[in-house]
Amino acid sequence: MSPSLALQYLLPQKTLSRIVRAATRWTWGPWKNFLIARVVKRYRVDMSEAAQHDPFAYPNFNAFFTRALKPGARHAGGGEAAVLCPADGRISQAGRIQEGRILQAKGRDFSVTELLTDEEDAALYRSGHFVTVYLSPRDYHRVHMPMDGELIETVHVPGKLFSVAPKPVARIPDLFARNERLICHFDGARGPFVVALVGAMLVSGIRTVWSGQEVPPYAAHVVRSDWRGRSVRLARFAEMGRFEMGSTVILLLPPSCLLRPGLLPEMPVRVGQRLGHFAEDF
């Protein structure tokens, strides 16, 4: 095991994330401008797409990191029947779920049951499809709806905070099923689907549009929240949540959804890009 990978196991992941959370909300100008400048330069962040294009106009680093885009910067593609990409970033993996297992990286997979922590929920996707999108520090960090849906349940799962960068994903077994995460179950016109927001090293928060701050607090046990009958309906392409620092989104789709060809690892994607469609719509 490499020294950098060993550190993933040894570092106090949640303590570091709490420190980062405080640091990214400090409004002292020299500090927040230093952090913003480092990220803009190192990751070549395209500020021309942002609603506020001056990176130093944001009150703190977190506001910069979760910045909104200007109107028209993203579009819903593929027609009304298309399943849309929920986030900017790169494809980590995508494809069919094989006998209830999701490909994490070459030679590594994990089970839908481990991800969702529920066998009955997992059975809906045993032979379905998945798309995993990795958000790097340069990306737009708001997550959007892949299709119209009514929120049925959220499940906050406790866990580790391993980095979700490509190297750890390739080397740490069951990483996405081990990290802290918020599972969002939706019911759509074509059946159920899941948008899972996976936390990671130094990710200091996950927010949703229906209840605000979800993480932290970090969970001590699985927390289920029933949203049935509470009329939380979100339109296709609408914002559903955001990461306060980068991470990963995993989209689970039923067997009747067909992914479009060419969704290969490291392929860049954007919110609203067509990922696939349902067979009955064509």
Rounded to the nearest 10°, the torsion over CA 214, 218, 222, 224 is: -20
Q: What is the pTM of this model?
A: 0.94
Active site residue 118: no
> Considering 144, 156, 185, 277, which one is annotated as catalytic?
144
How far is Cα 208 from Cα 184, in angstroms, rounded to an integer?
10
Contact 239, 272 (CB under 8 A): no
Active-site residue flag, 109: no
* C-alpha to C-alpha distance for 126 and 115, rounded to whole angstroms: 12
Best CA proximity match to 135, nearest among 102, 107, 166 = 166
From 17, 88, 129, 185, the catalytic residue = 88
Q: Tens of pLDDT along 206-255? A: 999 999 999 998 889 999 999 999 999 999 999 999 998 778 999 999 99
**Which whole-number Å values give the CA distances from 197 to 3, 79, 206, 262, in the listed order?**
28, 26, 8, 24
CA–CA separation, 172 and 9 (whole Å)? 10
- In the chain, where are the structural domains located? 14-65, 82-281
144 is catalytic: yes
> pLDDT tens-digit profile of 62-73?
999 999 999 999
> What does the pLDDT average to over 76-97?
94
Place of tokens 């990963």: 248
**Which pLDDT value is given to residue 109?**
96
Q: Could you tell me where the DSSP H helices lie in the chain?
A: 3-10, 13-23, 29-43, 61-65, 112-116, 119-123, 166-171, 175-178
The reported pLDDT for the residue numbered 278 is 86
What are the tens digits of pLDDT across the range 170-179?
Answer: 999 999 999 9
Q: Which of 129, 156, 247, 277 is catalytic?
A: 247
Q: What is the pLDDT of residue 192?
A: 96
- Beta bridge partners, 198, equal 181, 248
